[in-house]
Amino acid sequence: MTLLLQAALAGAEATVNRVLRLDGVALKRLGRLAGKVLEVDCQAPALRLFILPDADGLHLAAHHEAQVDCTLVAPAGNLLQLALAKDKTRVLHSPEVTMGGDSAMLLELADILQSLELDWEYEVSRWLGPVPAHLLGARLRGGMAWAGDSLESLRLSLADYLAEESRSLVGQQEAEARFAELDQLKISLDRLDARINRLTQKIKPDA
């Protein structure tokens, strides 16, 4: 079991560091966190992991006998969300997540991982050469831009169809007008409530 865990950690560490090396500044920023230790305590399934950043990347360990700088306790789902989410600070502030110690270290680490800009074209060029890598990169970027535009167009058309054509959903402007009316009504009710309270105080005989 010990060796299986070690093998899993070694594999994960190698993969993560390979990805980190694709970013021009991530390793330099991680180097500033060298010597710090983050303990990640996953609940359900129970698993404790230590992350030691330095200028070579992230080192993962199942045991760490010295003092840790920051502790993060969260269920596996939240940790996965933290790894994938663009806005990591929002996940860190959710009620299921508990942080202890030097949270600045954790926020800095989250920021480094969040702002990764991976140069895949460089990695591909090492294997295929610069010209094919550039052609492939340009084709992929074009494809991704087309896919992005198409998805956005689909989203807008779908919203338009559901709100205007099928009337299954309320349109955004209609909803906003109704919300504004509700807000106005709430303010009027508050005012009325205050007025009634004031009148009640006036007619109440003095004690």
Partner 1 sequence: MSEPRKPQAGQDSADPTTHFGYKTVRESEKAEKVAEVFHSVAAKYDLMNDLMSGGIHRLWKRFTIELSGVRAGNRVLDIAGGTGDLTRQFSRLVGPTGEVVLADINASMLKVGRDKLLDSGVAGNVSFVQADAEKLPFPDNHFDAVTIAFGLRNVTHKDEAIRSMLRVLKPGGRLLVLEFSKPTSSLLSKAYDAYSFTLLPLMGKLVTNDSESYRYLAESIRMHPDQETLKSMMVEAGFDRVTYHNMTGGVVALHRGIKP
Return the ∠ at Cα 5 (arms to 101 and 42), rounded to 5°: 35
Span 29-68, contacts to partner 1 by CB under 8 A = 34-35, 52, 54, 56, 59, 61-67
Q: Which is nearer to partner 1, 35 or 205 (CB)?
A: 35
Binding-site size for partner 1 (CB under 8 A) equals: 19
Span 126-145, contacts to partner 1 by CB under 8 A = none
**One-letter amino acid identity for 199?**
L
**One-letter amino acid identity for 135?**
L
User: Exposed (0-12), middle (13-18) or buried (19+): which is 115, by Cβ within 10 Å?
Assistant: exposed
In the complex, minimum distance from the CB of residue 69 to partner 1, in angstroms, rounded to a whole number: 11
* Residue 63 Cα to chain centre, angstroms: 27
Q: Which is nearer to partner 1, 4 or 46 (CB)?
A: 4
**Nearest CA among 5, 95, 80, 87 for reference residue 44:** 80
In the complex, minimum distance from the CB of residue 28 to partner 1, in angstroms, rounded to a whole number: 15
Q: Which is nearer to partner 1, 44 or 66 (CB)?
A: 66
Q: Which is nearer to partner 1, 21 or 64 (CB)?
A: 64
Q: How far apart are CA 19 and CA 16, in angstroms?
A: 5
In the complex, minimum distance from the CB of residue 41 to partner 1, in angstroms, rounded to a whole number: 17
Q: How far is CA 199 from CA 11, 120, 185, 189, in A?
A: 74, 72, 21, 15
Q: Which is nearer to partner 1, 6 or 43 (CB)?
A: 6
Instruction: Give the interface with partner 1 as residue ranges (CB under 8 A).
Output: 2-3, 6-7, 9-10, 34-35, 52, 54, 56, 59, 61-67
